[in-house]
Amino acid sequence: MTAVKDSVHDYISLDPVAADLVDTPEFQRLRHIKQLSTVRLVYPSANHTRFEHSLGVYHLASRALSHLGIDGDRAAHVRAAALLHDIGHGPYGHQTEDLIRRRTGRDHDEIDDLLGNSVAGEVLESHGLDPARVADLVDGNAGLGQLVSGELDADRMDYLVRDAHHTGVPYGTIDHGRLIRELRYREGNLVLAEGNVQTAESLLLARALMNAIVYRHHVSRIAGAMLERASERLVEDGLPIEEFARMADHDLLVALRERVPELGERIERRNLYKRAVWAPLEVVPADVVELTHAETRAAEREIADIADVAPKSVLVDVPPRPGIKESRSRVVVNGVVQRLEETSELVGALRSTERTQWRLGVYAPDDVRDEVAAAAADVFDLSPHGIDRWTVL
């Protein structure tokens, strides 16, 4: 067994399959994909990568499999899936996945084609593992795939603790040891054993706090919107989407600086747009909350036209409606498997908090922020609600 020293889990022991997979180009690329993307523009120490995170997920999945008494061929496939679960990510991870999805129809966890034509796929086959089966587990399909991608997955257990550790905030701290120890496999589903409603709630609460303080910080959202728009222009300028999807973070930053300098240089130097509008859900019309990608771009052009500014000076950021995936975690209560949302009063409170924290963002350079704010009020019909409540000036 090969041992790797980790900042979160101490030593991680790699089985022969994992040791060979780590040396493949597909996995080594993850050294150059930051785990927290633009969040590191807020928290300077958040420079950890998807490489170390993937090792952590492998470690926790291995512990869970051992605890559940699952071994042999089934366990080998799950361990490989846990290790490789992030190799489908594009540069800057989640910040570019919508662009890649629109252009390819593929999500980052759909890696069957990637494994079918890669060194990683060859390594799997050389160890008697089926790449298609590993890809299916990465996609979270049925049974033990839930350990890789599900409400109680090893992915979430690792990134919450790891992100909290590297940002220096205490809010993502969870007892992953207890979570793993209390996992059960019943009727094809991962559940938490009797007496663990609070254990499940701790995972939900940690995610909610990290969302508010780390993942959805307004500076990260502004930088993310700028990065996404710059990447879109890069692809529209002729960069093949498959080449884009295999870039590392530094490759993309160089390409943006050279080919989309009006945004690329700003991102590199942290010279970011400012909030012209930061509007809560309660004042935003329902049709605005549901804007499609094409409608969002059309709204940007309309705002720019009314404000008499360059079209590239307006970015509209409409996040998805609030939702808490972890509320669907299964836990045994009085001998019956129930969804956490059916037995926890905390779920309702956190859902309310998520709705309260939701914001529509409209961003612009500082020197045209006032004009963009007024134009956005007109386009999105926000003015009746009082400009001082939702505009950051």
160/277 same-domain check: no
* Within-domain flag for 135: yes
CA distance 324 to 241: 31
* Within-domain flag for 213: no
> What are the tens digits of pLDDT across the range 139-165?
987 688 999 998 889 999 999 999 999
Picking from 261, 263, 258, 259, the residue whose alpha carbon sits closest to that of residue 236 is 259
CA distance 62 to 288: 44
Picking from 358, 392, 192, the residue whose alpha carbon sits closest to that of residue 281 is 358
Identify the weakest region by mean pLDDT among 173-187, 258-272, 302-316, 318-332.
318-332
164/277 same-domain check: no
* Within-domain flag for 245: no
pLDDT of residue 390: 54
- pLDDT score of 203 more than 60: yes
For the residues 13-42, what does the mean pLDDT come to?
97
For the residues 14-26, what does the mean pLDDT come to?
98
Identify the weakest region by mean pLDDT among 269-278, 325-334, 342-351.
325-334
Which of 115, 137, 168 represents a domain boundary (last residue)? 168
What is the domain-level CATH number for residue 39? 1.10.3210.10
Which of 137, 168, 199 represents a domain boundary (last residue)? 168
pLDDT of residue 147: 94
Global pTM reads 0.94
Q: For all residues of the chain together, what is the average pLDDT?
A: 93
| Residue matched to tokens 């909290």 | 164
136/278 same-domain check: no
Angle at 36 between CA 201 and CA 272, to 5 degrees: 120
pLDDT of residue 391: 55
> What are the tens digits of pLDDT across the range 322-344?
877 777 889 999 999 999 888 98
Q: How many CB atoms lie within 10 A of CB 250?
A: 12
Number of structural domains found in the chain = 2
- pLDDT score of 384 more than 90: no
- pLDDT score of 25 more than 80: yes
Q: Could you tell me the pLDDT band of residue 393, with boundaries at 50, 70 and 90? A: very low
> What are the tens digits of pLDDT across the range 29-88?
999 999 999 999 999 999 999 999 999 999 999 999 999 999 999 999 999 999 999 999
* Within-domain flag for 208: no
Higher pLDDT pick, 188 / 317: 317
> What are the tens digits of pLDDT across the range 204-252?
899 999 999 999 999 999 999 999 999 999 999 999 999 999 999 999 9
Phi, psi (degrees; rounded to nearest 5) at 339: -70, 145
* Within-domain flag for 372: yes
6/139 same-domain check: yes
* Within-domain flag for 182: no
Domain containing residue 141 = 2-168
* Within-domain flag for 82: yes
Which of 152, 168, 184 represents a domain boundary (last residue)? 168
> What are the tens digits of pLDDT across the range 166-176?
999 988 889 99
pLDDT of residue 327: 76
* Within-domain flag for 210: no
